[in-house]
Structures are given as C-alpha cells and as structure tokens.
C-alpha cells in the first residue's frame, strides 16, 4: 500500500508537470480521464513497491499517447484564443492607431500558452520556439496602450526576420509567420495589456502605501 501511495504522488507530480506545457483542450480531458482510470486500475494489480516506478512511467506514457491524439498546434492555439478572448485587435486597428486601453479576458499564462502553440507551429521545434518567444518578449512596450499597431507589427516582423535569418528553413518560417501574423499580433497585444494592467495595479498599491507612510509620520 505504501508503494502504491508513493507511486500515486509521483504520478500526480508527472501529471501536473506535463500540464504546464502547451496542451490542447482535448489533451487535457483525455489525459485526465486515462490517468484516473490507470491509477484506479493499477491498484488491483497489487504490484507493491513496483508502483513507485510503474505509476509515474505509466502516466508519462499516457501523456505521450494523449498528446499524439490531441496535439497542441497553431489551430489549437487559435481555438483557445477565440474561446478565451475572441477580440481581433489586428483587424480593428489601423497602422497609426494606438492600441489604447484593452482588457483581455483570462490570465497571462493562458496567452503565454497560446503564443507557444503559435510559435511552435511556425518553427516546429522546442529550441527555436523558446528563442522566438525570447525575441518577442524582449520588448514589452510598457505601457502598450500608448503604442501604435505599426510599432508592434514592426517589432514582430523584426523578430520573424531574425528567426528566419538564423535558420536553414528561413523561407518556411517567414511564410508560416505571415500566415499567423494576425494571431501573433492579437496574442502579443493581449499579453502586453495584461502586463500593463498588473504593473499599474502594483504602482497604485505602492503609491497608496507611500502616501499612508507619509501621513503616519
């Protein structure tokens, strides 16, 4: 029984860690259901201390199977964006228009996952996806509300060119990125808007705290 409990704990840790990665909605549902069924079923196998090895490895295998059945790709990212937000800032704004104050629904982590799905679709490997993301987020345009659509697009296009120039598949990257430029823009702007709102809230809290400290003296 002790081996089974330890195995469950390790299996849950594997389950949580795998869900930190960009995943599709179908993956989340399938992975959860098959993991529960596996952990419940393995109890009747009476494997004793072997559960410490079998349960986490089994959960990992189920993760790969679920990811194979429901991969998180550009289409998954687009579907999640439409479900969470749906606003098409790219279409609404002209080049010289300021982004203005927008309030995307959801959390920054959600948009980070969506962005990862889009970038992975463009470059198709983990290393380049991380590099592409680092390039994009190297500039946050704080506060993004005062910047124009053209400024944001110039930054995104510069990042695309840097990735394309550093890869043997440069033309493919450019073509895929241009197909996803609307999604890149909308997701990037959403992340920056959430960052701006969070930063303003922190600044407001600090301002009030300083005012309270000044009044108390």
Q: What is the pLDDT of residue 22?
A: 66
CA nearest 141: which of 194, 183, 179, 74? 194
For 27, what's the count of Cα atoms within 13 Å in the CB-facing half-sphere? 23
DSSP bridge pairs for 98: 148
β-strand partners of 148:
98
- 168 burial (CB, 10 Å; 0-12 / 13-18 / 19+) is exposed
Instruction: Look at residue 216 in the predicted model and tell me its pLDDT.
Output: 65
Please report, for the chain, the start and end positions of each structural domain, with discontinuous segments joined by +: 2-69, 74-216
Q: pLDDT tens string for the chain (217 positions)?
A: 787 888 889 888 888 888 776 677 788 888 899 999 998 988 888 888 888 888 899 999 998 898 888 877 778 888 888 888 989 999 999 999 999 999 898 888 889 989 988 998 899 788 898 999 999 999 888 899 999 999 999 999 999 999 999 888 889 999 999 999 999 999 999 999 999 998 888 888 888 877 766 666 5
Residue 60, C-beta contacts closer than 8 angstroms, at least 6 positions apart: 14, 18
State the DSSP string of 43-85: GGG--GGGHHHHHHHHHHHHHHHHHHHS---HHHHHHHHHHHT
Q: pTM surpassing 0.75?
A: no
Distance of CA 112 to the CA centre of its chain: 3
What pLDDT is stored for residue 71 in this prediction? Answer: 75
Write down the pLDDT at residue 149.
96
Cα–Cα nearest to 48, from 14, 77, 6: 6
pLDDT of residue 122: 92
The residue to which tokens 């029984």 are assigned: 1
Q: What angle do CA 25, 30, 31 make, to 5 degrees?
A: 95
């Amino acid at each position: 029984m002790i081996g089974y409990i330890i195995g469950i704990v390790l299996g849950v840790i594997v389950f949580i860690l795998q869900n930190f990665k960009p995943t599709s909605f179908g993956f989340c549902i399938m992975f959860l259901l098959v993991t529960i069924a596996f952990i419940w079923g393995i109890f009747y196998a009476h494997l004793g201390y072997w559960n410490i090895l079998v349960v986490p490895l089994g959960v990992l295998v189920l993760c790969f199977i679920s990811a194979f059945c429901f991969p998180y790709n550009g289409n998954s990212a687009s579907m999640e964006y439409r479900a969470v937000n749906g606003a098409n800032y790219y279409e609404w704004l002209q080049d010289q228009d300021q982004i203005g104050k927008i309030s995307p629904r959801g959390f920054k982590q959600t948009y980070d996952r969506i962005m990862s799905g889009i970038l992975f679709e463009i470059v198709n490997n983990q290393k380049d996806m991380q590099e592409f993301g680092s390039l994009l987020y190297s500039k946050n345009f704080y506060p993004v509300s005062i910047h124009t659509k053209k400024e944001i697009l110039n930054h995104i296009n510069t990042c695309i060119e840097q990735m394309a120039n550093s890869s043997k598949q440069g033309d493919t990257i450019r073509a895929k990125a241009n197909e996803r430029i609307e999604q890149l823009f909308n997701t990037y702007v959403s992340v920056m808007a959430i960052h701006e709102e969070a930063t303003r809230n922190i600044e407001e809290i600090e301002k009030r705290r300083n005012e309270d400290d000044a009044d108390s003296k």
